[in-house]
Amino acid sequence: MTDVRDLPQNFEEYQEARKSGFMRVKEYCENGGHLVGYLCAYTPLEIIEAGGISAVGLCGTSNETVADAEQVLPQNLCPLIKSTFGFAYSDKCPYTYFAEMIIGETTCDGKKKMFELLNDIKETHVLQLPQSQKRSYAGDIWYEECKLLKEKLEEKFHVEITDEKLREAVKMRNKIREVELELANLQQAVPPVMKSTQAAMAMQQSTFVFSPSEQLANLRKLVDDAKDNYYNKGERPVSEKAKRILMTGCPSFGVLNKVSKTIEENGGTIVCPDDCSGERTRAMMIDENAPDILRAISDRYLQISCSVMSDNDARLTHLEEMVEKYKVEGVVDVVLHACHTFNIEGERVRRKCAELGIPYMKLVTDYAPSDSGQIATRISAFIEML
Ligand code: SF4
Ligand code: SF4
């Protein structure tokens, strides 16, 4: 195991931006800050934050570390899994490197087996997620998993996670979710308030902080700036004629340039990013006055709709609502290579779009630049047809 206070051996070879990232996280840890990494929307952040521990999302979104990962993992695996593992394997991500523990979950097969190997590099606690929300005992299973996580954190970090602290953490996370929803709702305007790539980058960057209150302040400023300082003063970063796209499927930050930017360059704009970090997840609040606060937290997270659940009807219901709310003209379904759950569920999404009379296009891709030309041609033809 790595000593979390030492810089990696190849630190001097890194470029300045990466070096300063390492120094920032190192300083946080040296000042007594605790850091854990997580990889999925099902991770109950309030439990971590109630322990005074920072939680940082570590999902790999870069092709840079895929080759590193392929020294250990099979090539025919989702790029998100390979990229995430590659960052841990190569010591290139400061957050992964300094995290004292990683929290994984049994969502898809690729991830849950990767965690066994990740645990050789960094202690990985795996949450056992039920495969359906609908069984009568599913809520109890997930509650027990959340309780186990709480006990694990208490033991490892020598903290006590009381109900009172959980309620405070819930209040803060609810506030963050409210602002994130405000940000999402800005895009209902015609034309939308922000470019989709700008909104996605801002959302992503807002999570790389060490305290939820800092994240809240960053998001608040982002929403107020976009609305009051630009849009309400007449700035229109997106053309009124831009075709309004709902983008669904796998987490897509790793294909921001290849897909999202290409949509913008070809006369489209993503008004509704409908993945697990989109509106359907953000809108799920927790009752801060619930009699059993841990149960309220576990119940909220279990209801998240993802293709790893069988069935995942809630995604289709939500899609229908979003198509209307965001005045959507076309649906783009992004499936990362070797992601069987989203790939197969794509057929149900296609059928739902046909029922709604909305054009649908599925893009199966990864983080490598090799298919960029082909993707651009398909996107351009799709938007042209809308
Ligand atoms: S897509 Fe599903 S498995 Fe992947 S991070 Fe989101 S909720 Fe987790
Ligand atoms: S995109 Fe699919 S295969 Fe990749 S980690 Fe998420 S659920 Fe698993």
Residue 115 CB less than 6 A away from ligand 2: no
**Is there a single domain that holds both residue 190 and residue 155?**
no
- Which residue has the least CA distance to atom 7 on ligand 2? 108
Contacts of 43 (CB under 8 A, 6+ apart): 55, 103, 105, 127, 301
**Is there a single domain that holds both residue 141 and residue 193?**
no
**pLDDT at 5 (0 to 100):** 61
Q: Which of 269, 262, 259, 252 is nearest to 204 (CA)?
A: 252
**Is there a single domain that holds both residue 131 and residue 191?**
no
**pLDDT at 282 (0 to 100):** 94
**Is there a single domain that holds both residue 176 and residue 316?**
yes
CA of 278, nearest ligand number: 1
CA of 57, nearest ligand number: 1
* Position 305 in a domain: yes
Q: Which of 105, 125, 160 is the last residue of a domain?
A: 160
CA of 133 to the centre of ligand 1 (A): 15
CA of 334, nearest ligand number: 2
Number of domains in the chain: 2
**pLDDT at 179 (0 to 100):** 96
**pLDDT at 14 (0 to 100):** 87
* Position 3 in a domain: no
* Position 106 in a domain: yes
Contacts of 317 (CB under 8 A, 6+ apart): none
Q: CA-CA distances (angstroms) from residue 89 to 3, 69, 73, 231, 294? A: 15, 7, 11, 44, 34
Residue 91 dihedral angles phi and psi, to the nearest 5°: 60, 35
> What domain range is 307 assigned to?
167-385
Q: Which of 160, 175, 202 is the last residue of a domain?
A: 160
* Position 5 in a domain: no
**Is there a single domain that holds both residue 188 and residue 309?**
yes
* Position 95 in a domain: yes
CA of 41 to the centre of ligand 1 (A): 6
CATH of the domain at 62: 3.40.50.11890
**Is there a single domain that holds both residue 71 and residue 198?**
no
**Is there a single domain that holds both residue 184 and residue 109?**
no
CA of 78 to the centre of ligand 2 (A): 6
Residue entry with tokens 């609502």? 321
**Is there a single domain that holds both residue 209 and residue 98?**
no
**Is there a single domain that holds both residue 341 and residue 376?**
yes
CA of 233 to the centre of ligand 2 (A): 41
Residue 216 CB less than 6 A away from ligand 2: no
Handedness of CA 164, 167, 173, 174 (dihedral sign): negative
Q: Which of 129, 160, 191 is the last residue of a domain?
A: 160
**pLDDT at 4 (0 to 100):** 57
* Position 1 in a domain: no
CATH of the domain at 377: 3.40.50.11900
pTM: 0.95
**Is there a single domain that holds both residue 260 and residue 376?**
yes
Block mean pLDDT (10 aa), the chain, length 386:
69 87 92 96 98 95 96 98 96 94 98 98 98 96 98 98 98 97 95 93 85 94 90 92 98 95 97 92 96 98 97 96 98 98 98 98 98 98 97
Q: How wide is the angle at C-alpha 57 spanned by C-alphas 52 and 61, nearest 5°?
A: 165
**Is there a single domain that holds both residue 81 and residue 126?**
yes
**Is there a single domain that holds both residue 149 and residue 172?**
no
* Position 56 in a domain: yes
Cβ < 6 A, ligand 1 pocket: 40-42, 107-108, 251, 276, 304, 306, 308
- Which residue has the least CA distance to atom 6 on ligand 2? 250
Q: Are 79 and 101 in contact (CB under 8 A)?
A: no
* Position 6 in a domain: no
